[in-house]
Amino acid sequence: MVSSLITIAVIAWLAQLALGGWQIRQFNRAFDKLCQQGRVGVGRSGGRFKPRVVVAIALDNENNVADTLLMRGLTVFARPQKIAALQGKSLQDLQPDVIFPHDPLCQNALSLALKLKHG
């Protein structure tokens, strides 16, 4: 009985490692494509027991949104998605509370992504 529980725990741990690595590879591919679009701002919010949210925004030379990336979830099954509402908008027109009116985690991540780091 104990050995079967240990075996199940080891299998679950190995599955977690494999799925986590797969998730990271998918995110890195999407992020690399995003970085080729222009300057990129990244914001992250969430906590240990809340779904994490990662928002990345690529801006072109005119400070318009060239591409976006949103990854939200609590498990390894979260996948990178696009934020269609932001495509082509100016940096000055982006208001996190208007874009995500009922999602404070996405609002926080977007506001952090809009504060581009220079240098």
Residues 18-30 pLDDT 10s: 999 998 999 999 9
pLDDT tens across 30-57, in order? 999 999 988 999 999 877 778 889 999 9
The alpha carbon of 84 is separated from its chain's Cα centroid by a whole number of angstroms, namely 14
- At 9 the pLDDT is 95
Token pair 């679950």 is at which residue? 12
Phi and psi dihedrals of 66, rounded to 5?
A: -90, -40
Measure Cα distances from 5 to 2, 16, 19, 66, 70 in Å: 5, 16, 21, 50, 37
Give the sign of the dihedral formed by CA 83, CA 88, CA 89, CA 92: positive
- At 108 the pLDDT is 92
Q: What percent of the chain has pLDDT over 90?
A: 52
Q: Detail the DSSP E strand segments found in the chain.
A: 39-45, 52-59, 65-73
What CATH architecture is 1-115?
Answer: Alpha-Beta Complex (3.90)
Beta bridge partners of 56: 42, 69
- At 118 the pLDDT is 60
Q: What percent of the chain has pLDDT over 70?
A: 97
pLDDT tens across 62-77, in order? 989 999 999 988 777 8
> Is the pLDDT reported for residue 119 higher than 60?
no
Confidence class for position 58, pLDDT limits 50, 70, 90: very high
Q: Where are the domains of the chain?
A: 1-115
